[in-house]
């Protein structure tokens, strides 16, 4: 069992999500930086589908009842065991010890994997916290107890993605790209807004020009959909996105993973995919 000593501003339990339920109005959810969570899991010998912790900017602190093997991936941060800094990729934490994951030095989200995984009851096949619908476990709070499963043999870890401040995202145009004038989406440069969260990454920059007036009836939306509200500022849907929306979708980002680590002010440009 793990006891949460310091929960941080938004630390949630995440795995690879619950795809396949959008027709029932259930978002996919899951880790925003899935590569980082898989990397942490494989370092400690877990299956890539095991549940870990996703921290936001300021990390978290955990007390372990029993010895445990831990890895931290994603946004780099100082990691301490009983206030002693460690640089080990795989950390052996003793019984009664406190693991403290500090402020992210770059990026936004760090991932904490424990051998055996966070062993809470799955909901629709996933242990992920969904911040939009409320499915899955609540976000971490001080004093919360987290059960740990049985550990398994070690696996070979894959490599996490790079964290950068300037992103270029591939976009498939449609279904409503004909509602907008010209190629402004690919000509403009945008910045990540502080209003971004697990539901969507809000961008600020030159407003996209509507070529078709009026409004749409709600339509289905997918992970990576670029919705354009009335102010013309693009919004990219992330893991906890709603399954329907009424604003036109100009295109769909092919891989939203880099946005998991994009801090406010990071630069975003788009390139068209064919």
Name the one residue in this structure whose structure tokens are 């995202």: 169
Return the H-helix or E-strand segment holding 93.
strand 90-93
- Name the token pair of 103: 């402020």
Which 3 state secondary structure label does DSSP give 42? helix
**pLDDT at residue 215, rounded to an integer:** 84
**pLDDT at residue 38, rounded to an integer:** 96
Return the H-helix or E-strand segment holding 187.
helix 184-187
> 181 vs 263, which has greater pLDDT?
263
Q: Are 226 and 208 in contact, with CB atoms under 8 Å apart?
A: no
Which residues are CB-contacts of 59 (< 8 A; sequence separation ≥ 6)? 6, 8, 11, 77, 100, 101, 102, 103, 104, 110
Measure the CA–CA gap between 6 and 177, rounded to whole angstroms.
45
> 161 vs 260, which has greater pLDDT?
260
**pLDDT at residue 157, rounded to an integer:** 52
**pLDDT at residue 117, rounded to an integer:** 97
CATH 2.40.100.10 correct for 166-272: yes
Measure the CA–CA gap between 194 and 21, rounded to whole angstroms.
29
- Tens-place pLDDT, residues 39-89: 999 999 999 999 999 999 999 999 999 999 999 999 999 999 999 999 999
Q: What is the pTM of this model?
A: 0.93
- Tens-place pLDDT, residues 192-209: 999 999 999 999 999 999
Has residue 162 got a pLDDT over 90?
no
Q: How confident is the model at residue 158 (pLDDT cuts 50, 70, 90)?
A: low
**pLDDT at residue 182, rounded to an integer:** 85
**pLDDT at residue 131, rounded to an integer:** 96
Q: Are 7 and 15 in contact, with CB atoms under 8 Å apart?
A: no
**pLDDT at residue 154, rounded to an integer:** 54
Segments making up each domain of the chain, as ranges: 2-146, 166-272
Determine the average pLDDT of the residues in 19-25.
91
Give all strands (DSSP E) within 28-75, no chain letters: 52-54, 60-64, 68-74
Q: Which CATH class is domain 2-146?
A: mainly beta
Residue 222's CB is within 10 A of a number of other CB atoms, namely 13
Q: How confident is the model at residue 135 (pLDDT cuts 50, 70, 90)?
A: very high
Measure the CA–CA gap between 128 and 126, rounded to whole angstroms.
5
Identical fold for domains 2-146 and 166-272, yes or no, is: no
Cα dihedral across residues 147, 141, 143, 57: positive or negative:
positive
The residue count of the chain comes to 274
**pLDDT at residue 152, rounded to an integer:** 63
- Name the token pair of 258: 């880099």
Has residue 36 got a pLDDT over 90?
yes
- Tens-place pLDDT, residues 209-244: 998 988 899 999 999 999 999 999 999 999 999 999
């Amino acid at each position: 069992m793990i006891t949460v000593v310091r929960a941080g501003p938004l630390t949630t339990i995440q795995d690879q999500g619950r795809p396949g339920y959008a027709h029932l109005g259930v978002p996919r959810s899951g880790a925003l930086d899935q590569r980082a969570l898989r990397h942490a899991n494989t370092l400690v010998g877990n299956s890539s589908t095991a549940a870990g912790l996703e921290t936001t900017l300021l990390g978290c602190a955990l007390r372990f009842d029993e010895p445990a093997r831990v890895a931290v991936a994603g946004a780099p941060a100082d990691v301490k065991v009983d206030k002693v800094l460690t640089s080990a990729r795989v950390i052996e934490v003793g019984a009664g010890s406190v693991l403290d994951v500090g402020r992210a030095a770059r990026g936004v989200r760090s991932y904490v994997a424990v051998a055996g995984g966070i062993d809470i009851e799955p909901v629709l096949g996933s242990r992920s916290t969904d911040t939009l619908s409320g499915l899955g476990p609540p976000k971490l709070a001080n004093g919360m107890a987290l059960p740990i499963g049985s550990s398994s043999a070690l696996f070979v870890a894959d490599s996490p993605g790079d964290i950068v401040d300037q992103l270029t995202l591939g976009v498939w145009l449609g279904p409503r790209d004909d509602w907008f004038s010209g190629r402004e989406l690919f000509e403009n440069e945008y910045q990540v807004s502080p209003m971004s969260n697990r539901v969507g990454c809000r961008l600020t920059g030159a407003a996209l020009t509507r070529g078709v007036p009026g409004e749409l009836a709600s339509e289905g939306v997918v992970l990576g959909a670029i919705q354009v509200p009335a102010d013309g500022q693009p919004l990219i849907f992330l893991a906890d996105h709603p399954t329907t929306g009424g604003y036109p979708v100009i295109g769909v980002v092919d891989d939203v993973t880099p946005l998991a680590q994009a801090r406010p002010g990071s630069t975003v440009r788009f390139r068209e995919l064919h």
